Structures are given as structure tokens and as C-alpha cells.
């Protein structure tokens, strides 16, 4: 590092060098504090073990909102406020059964869960012939003749031969998201999908599905990867197998929920905002530790680091806990509507007739523009970089800070996607950024009962908080 600075100094004017040295001192302080303090880990423990799964609309989600507000209220921030967003409230129900060969001696119960947002089967459940398909092409080829009246079993394993596991997930999540609608087109009465994970274990993984307005809504369940293999093997021996499905999920009336926002106002350019956050909601079948309790506590920690070290940002730095990422991103939509309003008109919307657009901001607001938005929603494992969705200029600027990040394992500053929540700010021209973490184990936990507090390592979590804080510090100091 010292050699780098010396070489750098030979070619650049003194003041630039001086400033990079100063930056490295501040960044070192951020690192020391982030890695020595346990607040974020304790926050995660509370969120996971005392509140637990917190799907939007649920009492647990409401508890999480209140808890986050209390945490922020205790931090001596300039502004803390709730922002309303109306959300769905889907309830899993008591029963989740998938049984092979029901009523027979050879019957086996599979590890299964309802896919998020699915309709139920009714109390009695349904029994039908099951047919395995690999993908949507095969479904189409089989057509109505083979599919009608049956339960379709989508058994498409995630591809293990990719390095970044989000790619593997992306290749199979579509069967969970669109499988029910695609199968219903050919007259299927329900679907069972292989869990979207690379792990071979007994945990079923949930996640949202999307129905189409014009297609019949049929129930969807996910089975663990081990049980998907088991079912497939049995179907090879007996293609006439029956499955019994029962799930009692219901859709409750929509309810009012909130994003939670906390900020330190900028001393020179308070109208320029740097946002960072994660999503507070989490699937109800686990504790939402990696997804996305980690992102929430890491980004709250950014504020704590600035406060503790007495760093006064020039620009406004703002934490947002987004509600409802998992189902319909109503929180992200409400926040983006607010950001657009503040950019275009700089005043508050208080439209009581349109609940989703109600925005409450306790300070008198001027115009605001969003310079950058950083999302932490790729799990709490070791970070190694940032993925940047912005202009080439913005990318080059962030890359120019690489020597400051490199000693702390942040070596990848590349163009790429950001996140579902901050993505809604794209039309405003905001630079969108995601913290990139080691993804090898992420989908072992994601959306499953296995996503628990004990799966998050404290140091790895702290490294994430530090990395975001360092980036916020540099964007604040130099703009973007
Ligand atoms: Zn997430």
C-alpha cells in the first residue's frame, strides 16, 4: 500500500495524494470501529430470534417496523420517519402436505411448503396423477392432452457449473414464479416445483409466484431437492403415481405498512441524497437472517459508524428499510414515488385517497435529488465488491478508489445489476449499487427454514457494514 502511494505521488499533484492518504486514514477508522463493535450482530440476533420471519402484512412485520424505528430513534439522527405503503397479506396456513401414493402402504410424505402467494387447495386437498417436466418447452410439447387434470412437477435442478450462484438461481426461479400459470394454460390443477437452491438437503424453499389475470390460479408447492430427486426416481418406476396436495393458505385484506427511514442531513449539500438499505420483510418460514436481516443491520450500522466517528457528511446520508421486497415491492415503489416527487416538485404528497402514495416527512422539505442508492440484499457473507449500474463516468470514479478498498478485500468494482428495491430509482438517473458478497452458500439458506441467525458470521457481517460505510464516505466526499 505504501509503495502504491509513493508511486501514485510521483505522478500526481501533492494535494491528491494528501487527500488519498487522509481518506485511507478515515477508512481505516471505519474498519476498526466496524470490526470491533457488536451492535449490528446483536441487532441481527434480535431481529431473527425475537421477531423472526416477517412477511409483509404480518404482525411480525409490524413488530419489525416498530423495532427498527426504536433503534433509529436511539441513534441521535437528524430525521427518523415512517413512510406508508399498503401491502398484501398472504398467510401460509396450518397445513402443507405433499404425499406420494396417498392412502397406500408405500405412501411417502415429502418435505414441502407453499410457494409464496399461492392459492390454497381447500381443506380437503386434491389428489391427482403427477407428471414430471424439465422446462417450459417440454410442458408445451406435452400440451393439453398430457397435462389436463394433472399435477405438474417442475424438476429443473439449478446449474452447479456457474461461479456466481445468483446466475444458477436465476435459471430456475422462473419455474416457481411462473410455473403455476404456465401449467394452468394446459389445464393442470396444481404444480409442485423443485426448490430453487444448489443445496442437496431436506429444506423446502419458498418465494413469490405470479399469477396472470386471465389464467386460472392453481396451487403451487415447493419440495426439497432431496425429495424432488426421490419423486423423480419413483416416477421413473411408476409413471402412474398419484400425489396428494393440501395447503390452507389464504389472502387477507391488504394492510398498511411502512418503510423506515433515518438520516444524517448533509452540512453543505443536504438536497443531495445518498441512500443505502435493505428489505425488512422476510419469508415466514425462516428467520430472514441472510435474506435480508443482514442487509438491514449492516446499513443501520453505516449511520452508527458515521455518528460514532463524528464524520459529518456534506450530503444527506439516508438509511431506508424497505418493506415488502419479497412480494410486490410496495415499499420500494412508495419510496421511488417520494423520491420523484422531491426531485420534480420538492413538496410533500399527502393524498389520503391514494394510500400507497401517502408520504410523511416531518421536516420541511426542499428539492432533493438522489445521487446514489446502495442495496445490501445478497446475504451476510464476506463481501468482495460492488456491482454498479450507472454511467461510465460514475463507474470510473468508483474504480479510482480501488486502492482504498483493496486492503479490505473489496477488489471487484464492476458494472452490473443492483437490487430490486433501489432499482425502482432508475428512472431518476440515480447511480444504483449493490454490495456483492460471496454467494456460494447463500441459496442454501435463501427463503428456507435454514435462514437463521446462527448461519451469519459476525466478522463477515461487519465487513459488509464497513464496505458500505467506506463507499458512502467516498461518494459523500467526492460526489458521483
Ligand atoms: Zn432479499
Distance 67 CA to ligand 1 centre (A): 19
Q: Report the candidate in 361, 391, 413, 385 with the shortest Cα–Cα distance to residue 479.
A: 391
Distance 9 CA to ligand 1 centre (A): 42
Higher pLDDT, 368 or 66: 66
pLDDT at 11 over 60: no
pLDDT at 16 over 80: no
Higher pLDDT, 16 or 119: 119
Reported confidence tier of residue 342, pLDDT bands at 50, 70, 90: confident
Distance 16 CA to ligand 1 centre (A): 39
Higher pLDDT, 276 or 270: 276
Distance 54 CA to ligand 1 centre (A): 12
pLDDT single digits (tens) 218-254: 999 999 999 999 999 999 999 999 999 999 999 999 9
Q: What percent of the chain has pLDDT over 90?
A: 89
pLDDT at 39 over 50: yes
Distance 186 CA to ligand 1 centre (A): 32
Distance 360 CA to ligand 1 centre (A): 25
CA atoms within 13 A on the CB side of 310: 0
Distance 325 CA to ligand 1 centre (A): 7
Three-state secondary structure readout of the chain: CHHHHHHHHHHCCHHHHHHHHHHHHHHHHHHHHHHHCCHHHHHHHHHHHHHCCECCCCHHHHHHHHHHHHHHHCCCCCEEEEEEEEEEEEECCCCEEEEECCCCCCCEECCEEECECCCCCCCCCEEEEEEEECCHHHHHHHHHHHHCCCEEEECCCCCCCCCCHHHHHHHHHHHHHHHHHHHHCCCCCEEEEECCCCCCCCCCCCCECCCCCCCCCCCEEEECHHHHHHHHHHHHHCCCCEEEEEECCEEEEEEEEEEEEEEECCCCEEEEEEEEEEECCECCCCCCHHHHHHHHHHHHHHHHHHHHCCCCCCEEEEEEEECCCCCCCHHHHHHHHHHHHHHHCCCCCCCCCCHHHCCCCCCCCCCCEEEEEEECCCCCCCEEEEEEECCHHHHHHHHCCHHHHHHHCCCEEEECCCCCCHHHHHHHCCEEEEEEECCCCHHHHCCCCCCCHHHCCHHHHHHHHHHHHHHHHHHHHHCC
pLDDT at 466 over 90: yes
pLDDT at 55 over 80: yes
- Average pLDDT value for residue range 148-152: 98
Question: What pLDDT was estimated at residue 18?
Answer: 56
Q: What percent of the chain has pLDDT over 70?
A: 92
- Average pLDDT value for residue range 442-446: 98
Strands 315-322 and 250-264, sheet pairing? antiparallel
- Average pLDDT value for residue range 341-368: 54
Distance 280 CA to ligand 1 centre (A): 9
Distance 97 CA to ligand 1 centre (A): 26
> What's this model's pTM, rounded to 2 decimal places?
0.92
Distance 279 CA to ligand 1 centre (A): 7
Q: How far is C-alpha 176 from the chain's CA centre?
A: 17
Distance 374 CA to ligand 1 centre (A): 14
Reported confidence tier of residue 359, pLDDT bands at 50, 70, 90: very low
Question: What pLDDT was estimated at residue 366?
Answer: 60
Distance 295 CA to ligand 1 centre (A): 8
100 to each of 92, 192, 208, 227, 228, how far by Cα in Å?
21, 12, 24, 10, 11
Distance 378 CA to ligand 1 centre (A): 7
Question: What pLDDT was estimated at residue 367?
Answer: 79
Distance 377 CA to ligand 1 centre (A): 5
pLDDT single digits (tens) 168-218: 999 999 999 999 999 999 999 999 999 999 999 999 999 999 999 999 999
Question: What pLDDT was estimated at residue 106?
Answer: 87
Distance 17 CA to ligand 1 centre (A): 39
pLDDT single digits (tens) 371-414: 999 999 999 999 999 999 999 999 999 999 999 999 999 999 99
Question: What pLDDT was estimated at residue 1?
Answer: 45
Distance 319 CA to ligand 1 centre (A): 16
pLDDT single digits (tens) 344-356: 876 554 444 443 4
pLDDT at 363 over 50: no
pLDDT at 357 over 60: no
Distance 305 CA to ligand 1 centre (A): 24
pLDDT at 34 over 70: yes
Distance 418 CA to ligand 1 centre (A): 12
Question: What pLDDT was estimated at residue 351?
Answer: 41
Distance 165 CA to ligand 1 centre (A): 14
Reported confidence tier of residue 29, pLDDT bands at 50, 70, 90: very high
Distance 103 CA to ligand 1 centre (A): 39
287 to each of 53, 64, 206, 256, 388, how far by Cα in Å?
5, 12, 13, 22, 29
Question: What pLDDT was estimated at residue 21?
Answer: 76
pLDDT single digits (tens) 468-479: 999 999 999 999
Distance 244 CA to ligand 1 centre (A): 31
Looking at every residue in the chain, the average pLDDT score rounds to: 93
Distance 59 CA to ligand 1 centre (A): 19
Which residues does 57 contact at the CB level (< 8 Å), separation at least 6? 87, 88, 89, 90, 252, 254, 255, 257
For helices 294-308 and 458-478, angle between their N-to-C axes, nearest 10 degrees: 60
Distance 139 CA to ligand 1 centre (A): 30
Rounded to whole angstroms, the Cα distance separating 284 from 80 reads 27
pLDDT single digits (tens) 318-333: 999 999 999 999 999 9
Distance 291 CA to ligand 1 centre (A): 5
- Average pLDDT value for residue range 244-272: 96
Q: Phi-psi bin for 436: left (phi > 0), alpha (psi -120 to 50), beta?
A: beta
**Of the candidate ranges 10-24, 350-364, 461-475, the one whose mean pLDDT is the lowest:** 350-364
Amino acid at each position: 500500500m505504501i509503495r502504491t502511494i509513493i508511486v501514485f505521488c510521483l505522478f500526481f499533484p501533492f494535494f491528491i495524494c494528501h487527500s488519498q492518504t487522509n481518506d485511507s486514514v478515515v477508512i481505516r477508522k471505519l474498519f476498526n470501529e466496524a470490526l470491533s463493535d457488536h451492535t449490528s450482530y446483536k441487532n441481527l440476533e434480535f431481529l431473527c430470534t425475537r421477531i423472526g420471519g416477517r412477511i409483509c402484512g404480518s404482525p411480525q412485520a409490524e413488530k419489525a417496523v416498530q423495532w427498527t424505528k426504536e433503534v433509529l430513534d436511539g441513534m441521535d439522527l437528524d430525521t427518523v420517519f415512517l413512510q406508508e405503503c399498503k401491502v398484501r397479506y398472504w398467510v401460509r396456513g396450518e397445513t402443507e402436505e405433499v404425499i406420494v401414493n396417498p392412502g397406500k402402504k408405500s405412501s411417502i410424505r415429502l418435505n414441502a411448503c407453499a410457494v409464496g402467494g399461492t392459492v390454497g387447495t381447500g381443506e380437503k386437498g386434491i389428489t391427482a396423477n403427477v407428471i414430471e417436466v424439465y422446462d417450459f418447452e417440454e410442458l408445451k410439447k406435452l400440451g393439453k392432452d398430457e397435462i389436463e387434470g394433472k399435477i405438474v412437477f417442475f424438476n429443473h435442478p439449478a446449474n452447479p457449473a456457474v461461479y456466481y450462484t445468483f446466475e444458477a438461481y436465476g435459471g430456475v426461479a422462473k419455474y416457481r414464479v411462473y410455473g403455476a400459470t404456465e401449467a394452468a394454460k394446459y389445464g393442470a390443477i396444481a404444480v409442485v416445483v423443485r426448490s430453487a437452491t444448489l443445496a442437496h438437503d431436506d429444506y423446502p424453499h419458498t418465494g413469490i409466484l405470479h399469477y396472470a389475470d386471465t389464467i386460472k390460479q392453481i396451487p403451487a408447492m415447493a419440495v426439497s431437492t432431496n425429495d424432488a430427486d426421490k419423486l423423480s426416481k419413483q416416477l421413473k418406476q411408476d409413471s402412474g403415481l398419484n400425489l396428494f396436495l393440501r395447503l390452507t393458505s389464504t389472502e387477507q385484506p391488504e394492510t398498511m405498512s411502512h418503510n423506515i427511514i433515518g438520516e444524517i442531513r448533509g452540512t453543505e449539500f443536504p438536497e443531495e441524497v445518498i441512500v443505502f438499505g435493505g428489505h425488512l420483510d422476510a419469508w415466514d418460514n425462516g428467520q430472514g437472517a441472510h435474506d435480508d436481516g443482514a442487509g438491514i443491520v449492516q446499513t443501520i450500522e453505516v449511520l452508527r459508524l458515521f455518528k460514532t466517528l463524528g464524520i459529518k457528511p456534506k450530503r444527506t446520508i439516508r438509511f431506508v428499510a424497505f418493506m415488502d421486497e419479497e412480494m410486490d415491492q410496495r415499499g420500494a415503489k412508495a419510496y421511488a414515488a417520494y423520491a420523484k416527487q422531491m426531485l420534480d416538485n420538492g413538496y410533500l404528497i399527502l393524498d389520503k385517497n391514494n394510500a400507497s402514495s401517502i408520504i410523511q416527512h416531518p421536516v420541511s422539505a426542499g428539492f432533493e435529488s438522489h445521487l446514489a442508492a446502495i442495496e445490501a440484499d445478497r446475504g451476510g457473507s464476506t463481501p468482495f465488491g460492488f456491482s454498479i449500474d450507472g454511467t461510465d463516468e460514475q463507474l470510473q470514479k468508483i474504480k479510482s478508489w480501488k486502492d482504498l478498498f483493496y486492503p479490505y478485500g473489496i477488489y471487484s468494482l464492476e458494472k452490473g445489476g443492483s437490487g430490486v428495491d433501489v432499482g425502482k430509482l432508475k428512472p431518476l438517473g440515480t447511480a444504483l449499487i449493490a454490495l456483492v458478497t460471496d454467494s456460494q452458500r447463500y441459496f442454501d439458506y435463501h427463503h428456507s427454514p435454514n435462514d437463521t441467525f446462527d448461519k451469519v458470521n459476525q466478522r463477515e457481517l461487519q465487513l459488509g457494514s464497513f464496505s458500505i460505510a467506506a463507499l458512502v464516505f467516498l461518494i459523500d466526499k467526492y460526489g458521483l
